[in-house]
Structure 1
């Protein structure tokens, strides 16, 4: 995802005040760990989320609270015509070069 210039602190503030109904929707979609990282040089955002096996995460974009959140965030980031944050297509995904999963992972 891509932030617009000069909005990093507002982006952080809005996420620090995450709506309870959005947090509930994320949890109901099976997300149990979610982090967003910022490349300060390019204002690119990189999200990493962990999802329970078999979770209904594909339903999340259709949730009204998700659409309201996208509308709320649209002035801070590049978005698609439907308001969803503009993300790179999967064919642009970063290749994994290393992964370690310890016991119990």
Structure 2
């Protein structure tokens, strides 16, 4: 049974269309990276009023999820996205993990 990850990030004002375009053109190597690191059913939704991005991913393990950040492909993706969202000094997205309080299968 997969683990569920939920988190929130912030999109810069006026960047919705560009964020959507970049994800519509998600690099094949990024898709492969996510799959090989056990990520399934990855969804990001936008609350337009606040520019908050809500992420949901089903993962095989916390270790595999954490290892994504150490890959060259992920680092390039962060560099590619840093101009349209709130980021940390290493260009990783500022992300706050959410606590699951309800789930129904």
- TM-score, with length taken from structure 1: 0.85
Report which of the two structures shows the higher radius of gyration computed on alpha carbons.
1
Per-residue CA deviations over 1:29-86 (Å, capped at 9, x if unaligned) read: 1001100010110000010001125772221000100000000000000100010001
Distance 1:53 1:73, change over 3 A: closer
- TM-score, with length taken from structure 2: 0.85
Q: How many residues align?
A: 97
Query: RMSD value over aligned CA atoms?
Result: 1.5
Query: Structure 2: where are the runs of 5+ without partners?
Result: 1-8
Instruction: Return the structure number with greater relative CO, CA threshold 8 A, min gap 6.
Output: 2
Q: Which one has the bigger strand percentage? A: 2
What CA distance in whole angstroms lies between the structure 1 residues aligned with 2:100 and 2:77?
Answer: 29
- Aligned structure 1 segments of 4 or more residues deviating by more than 2 angstroms: 52-55
